[in-house]
A and B are shown apart, each in its own frame.
Chain A
Amino acid sequence: DAGVIQSPRHEVTEMGQEVTLRCKPISGHNSLFWYRQTMMRGLELLIYFNNNVPIDDSGMPEDRFSAKMPNASFSTLKIQPSEPRDSAVYFCASSPVLAGVEQYFGPGTRLTVT
Chain B
Amino acid sequence: KQEVTQIPAALSVPEGENLVLNCSFTDSAIYNLQWFRQDPGKGLTSLLLIQSSQREQTSGRLNASLDKSSGRSTLYIAASQPGDSATYLCAVMDTGRRALTFGSGTRLQVQP
Contacts and interface: CB of A to CB of B under 8 A. Distances in A.
Contact of B44 (A44, A56, A91): A91
Say what secondary structure dominates the interface of chain A. Answer: strand
Nearest to A103: B100
Interface in B3-54: 31-32, 34, 36, 42-46, 49, 51
Contacts of B42: 107-108
A48 B98 contact: yes
Contacts of A55: 98
Given A43-B89, A56-B97, A100 B44 contact: no
A84 B51 CA distance: 39
B64 interface: no
Nearest to B44: A105
Contacts of B97: 56
Interface in B72-112: 89, 91, 93, 97-105
Interface string A40-84: 001111001010000110010000000000000000000000000
A8 to B, nearest CB: 14
A102 interface: yes
Contacts of A43: 89, 91, 100, 102
A94 B36 CA distance: 15
3 closest Cβ contacts across the A-B interface?
A43-B102, A105-B44, A107-B43
26 contacts: A33-B99, A33-B100, A43-B89, A43-B91, A43-B100, A44-B102, A45-B99, A45-B100, A48-B98, A48-B99, A56-B99, A59-B99, A91-B43, A99-B32, A99-B98, A100-B32, A102-B46, A103-B34, A103-B46, A103-B100, A104-B46, A105-B36, A105-B44, A105-B46, A107-B42, A108-B42
